[in-house]
Amino acid sequence: MMHISFCAGLILTLTVAVTGQTSSGGVEVSGVVLNTSDEVISGASVILRSNDVSKPPTKVTSDARGSFRFSGVASGGYEIEIRKNSFKPAVIQLTVGAHAPTPLRITLEIPDLREEVAVEDRSSQVNSNPSDNLDVIKLDSDALNNLPVLGNDVIGAVANLVDASSTGSGGATVLVDGLETTRKVPASMIQEVRINQNPYSAEFARPGRGRIEVITKAGATEYHGEFGFIFRDSLLDARNAFALERPPEQRRIYEGVLTGPLGRGKKTSFFFSGNREEEDLQAVVFARTPAQLVPENVATPQRQSEFSFRVNHQVGEKTTYSIRFDFTEASSRNNGVGGFNLPETAADSRDGEHQIFFTHRQIISPELINELTLRAGHEYGRTRSVRQGIPKLIVQDAFTGGGGQADRRTTENHVQLNEILSWTKAKHFVRVGLNVPDISRRGFSDETNFGGTFTFATLDDYLNNRPFLYSINQGDGHLAFWQKEFGLFAQDQIMARPNFSIALGLRYDKQNFLGDKNNFSPRLSFAYAPDKKRKTVLRGGAGIFYDRTGIGPIADKLRFNGLRLRQVNILDPGYPDPFSSGSALADQPSAIYRFAPDLRSPYTFQFNIGAERQLAKSLTITANYINTHGVKLFRSRDVNAPPPPYLQRPDPAIGVLRELESAGRSETHALELLLRGRISRFFNGTIQYTLGRAYNNTGGINSRPANNYDLTGEWARADFDERHRFNVLGAFKVRDWFDLGMTIALASGRPYSLTTGHDDNNDTIANDRPNGVRRNSLQGPGAATLDLRWSKEFHLKAAKKGTKRDEGPAVTIGLSAFNALNRVNYTGFVGNQISPFYGLPVAARPARRVQLNVNFSF
């Protein structure tokens, strides 16, 4: 919940700019919603009503930049009403003529009594704007402060709401202020989080259901601050189902925010945030060695510090600049331990990132706005095994011991860029732009597996010194190269009629190391309100979305070429000396990784059709059918694997020839129902149910088939396939003393594969399945979690005469319980027929955890 003390003294300012009259459709009324600190206000309801009562009102919602617009407004008298949670509504009168009137300023006062906080904007109404779909998950700072969030990880808290069939090879796309990132965003910096906003916009590379958009807080021209402490101790937690005892864990997070003016006047402001995380957690080992079952807790301490400083400056009334510096340092110990991995395989790591953001927004004319966002940064990382010079030992689905064989340094210097031009005229709202997700110089110094790895099929084979595989890397692990990705887009949103609008867009994407140059992706969406009261809207859309390889396959292609960095695989080696037969490492054929000659960028075709219905003033329901087809998806295959009868490779001078292909496919069907708003007198939130089915023939860019020459058994349920998904996000509020946020997540079980446990076809991977058995033929159990957060705000000062009660300093205390019912949600079911854990789970999601939040604001 956004603290009211932080909002003290805020007023909403509406600047209304009316363009010149057009030749055919009236004029356009547009503007931006701000507060007195010159901060944009998103999610405000702006309603335009004509004095002619026969004409229906028109409603829009201010976007992430605080902007709104009405197209085709005829001459005459109007009133504009503005509503936003925690503010009194305001109404002004406006006369539209042949010329633009003087810009208007409207102030919304904070009410004496605070309204209940909804998880999503309660002012959202059904409308016929193609970008205002109501099946969006939108969490503002009020909602984020009210929901249970483990630690400081807001992105992790909402990740389960992303549709896995809409994500790319790198998983869900996270955008921070329009730029892609892979790092965690501290909660203290987040103003709003959105999933599935404008799903078919040409501005984005991935569908709305596969991306998480984060909007960070800006500076204010009055001093405000928040200082928080998050604490969790295992004394209040339950024991993990696979741990013999409850491990001693503790998490401490310190965070603070300070914002205010710089210099005199209100043209320049700053925003500073700091975050320190100290996590003394434990990993649970559950393995079987020849001597015994090993259930063990292993300490995995982590430390992270992050600081951000932002300066905003306004030049005149039309130009705004912003510059932000970010600094992050992190370290962790005993990485990789847990499950089958024994403590001796641990590795320690340290990494960091320093970056600078620059934004420039200029109103060139009432019809034309330019926005530039730029990020430049430097990243580095170091990972090193605790035990050096000792081969790794893998007994499949039993235990992994020996050395960790992890020794790697990485560096990266990168630039990202968004340049977007917005133009409005009559019934059109046009956006064109350039996206540069990544231009980077990446460096590797990689000595991973330079000590070698022995792999055994069973514990008996381990006891009898019979590994089926020995693998080792040698050579030059140093590598530096440039990665380049960019996209171009154009989109026109057309208000064809007051009750019908359509958006047309076209996007082009390109990355280096792939030869295809025809990655054009058209996008289309529409919204139509068939009834006069416009309480029902039919909405649909379709689009093509291209994927990228990511950095890993490119680095492997350049390194594992048989010359620079050699990877040797020896079947049925000696043990502990793999060369006891007299052969030498230099005589062994090297593995090679390459891109297929016809490799192309995979793409996803997605379309949906649905309906939205206004049930009450602040309650809507949506129903959508979504169909997704993946075409030319990435998968890996050993094209030099021994053909039947699996005795010898076609080219004995080469070992594994792992080739990245774009030959996979997928098909997903889903019916989604979503209820959002004031669901009952005391509950505001979102209820989402999805009935779906997902099939594909590839498990991802690095997946390998069981049989490289017969792929028919690969078409099966996708790894992420869940028939039923049910999510609830919301808040119960009964007066001032009962403020309870909650999330509920229920899901059907995911599939897993039945395997023989042997490398029957001698391709170095023991993922072979019994004859006639398809991938993912076994069924795992479902999962259910309930997370709760109770909070209470205490005001430290009595309100002075003439001021609001919420304007003084305040302390908020929150208590959260994750997996509050302590349900055991099993994961990691073993399908290996010769494993001692066959048919059993070997891990479980965390048991109940309790977290305390204390926050001071002024």
Mean pLDDT of the chain: 88
Three-state SS at 305: strand
In the numeric block, which tokens belong to residue 336? Answer: 């990789």
User: Low-confidence residues of the chain, pLDDT below 50?
Assistant: 1-25, 37, 101, 110-123, 802-804
What is the residue whose two structure tokens read 């192309």? Answer: 600
Render the burial of 52-80: b for 16+ CB within 10 Å, e for the rest.
eeeeeebbbbbbbebbbbbbbbeeeebeb
Domain at 1-112: CATH architecture: Sandwich (2.60)
Give the residues across from 419 on adjacent strands. 372, 434
Residue 62 near residue 83 (C-beta atoms within 8 A): no
- The pLDDT, as a whole number, for residue 63 is 75
Amino acid at 180: E
- The pLDDT, as a whole number, for residue 397 is 97
**C-alpha span between 130 and 599 (Å, rounded):** 35
Residue 266, phi then psi, degrees to nearest 5: -125, 30
- N residues, the chain: 858
Domain ranges of the chain: 1-112, 216-857
Nearest to 49 by CA among 93, 100, 97: 93
* Pick among 2.40.170.20, 3.30.390.30, 2.60.40.10, 2.10.77.10: CATH of 216-857: 2.40.170.20
- The pLDDT, as a whole number, for residue 87 is 55
CA distances from 773 to 129, 457, 668 (A): 49, 20, 22
**C-alpha span between 106 and 95 (Å, rounded):** 15
Residue 447 near residue 410 (C-beta atoms within 8 A): no
- The pLDDT, as a whole number, for residue 575 is 96
Q: How far is CA 80 from the centre of its chain?
A: 37
Q: What is the CA radius of gyration of the chain?
A: 29
Please enumerate in sequence order all residues whose Cβ is within 8 A of that of 92, keeping only pairs 6 or more positions apart, or say none.
Answer: 14, 79, 80, 104, 106
Three-state SS at 705: coil
Give the HSE-up count for residue 492: Cα atoms under 13 Å, Cβ half-sphere.
Answer: 8
**C-alpha span between 197 and 174 (Å, rounded):** 13
